[in-house]
Amino acid sequence: AQSVSQHNHHVILSEAASLELGCNYSYGGTVNLFWYVQYPGQHLQLLLKYFSGDPLVKGIKGFEAEFIKSKFSFNLRKPSVQWSDTAEYFCAVTNDYKLSFGAGTTVTVRA
């Protein structure tokens, strides 16, 4: 069974700092990759997704992610975070129509 690993459990940043969240997956076949965000008290919202093509994917709210196939990684980045980026972030990988999630990273942005 495939697994998804997120390297950081909790990240604390100041506004305007850069953010990078790590994600690695174990499955070696063709995968589709996602990053979701969950703001406090809300449901999951899609930030970005990768299916094929350009490995650098741009999503909403200034987020981007890079797929590195050789490293089985799909790291999320944002050059300058805002207080409103405080949320929990989930990396997810799909194969055979089922989505597997990492444990999540809580990001706290301090004003």
Partner 1 sequence: DAGITQSPRHKVTETGTPVTLRCHQTENHRYMYWYRQDPGHGLRLIHYSYGVKDTDKGEVSDGYSVSRSKTEDFLLTLESATSSQTSVYFCAISEPETGVYGYTFGSGTRLTVV
**Binding-site ranges for partner 1 (CB under 8 A):** 1, 4, 6, 9, 32, 34, 36, 42-46, 49, 51, 90, 92, 94, 97-104
Distance (Å, whole) CA 25 – CA 71: 9
Closest CA to 49 of 60, 41, 61, 62: 60
CB closer to partner 1 out of 16 and 46: 46
**Whole-number minimum distance, CB 85 to partner 1, in Å?**
19
Least gap, CB of 57 to partner 1 (angstroms)? 13
Task: Compare residues 14 and 45 and give the one whose CB is closer to partner 1.
Answer: 45
Q: For the CA atoms of 24, 38, 54, 33, what is the dihedral angle to 10 degrees? A: 50
Round to whole Å and give the CA distance between 7 and 33. Answer: 16
Minimum separation from the CB atom of position 13 to partner 1 (A): 21
Q: Please report the DSSP string for 4-17 in residue order.
A: EEES-SEEEEETT-
Closer by beta carbon to partner 1, 86 or else 94? 94
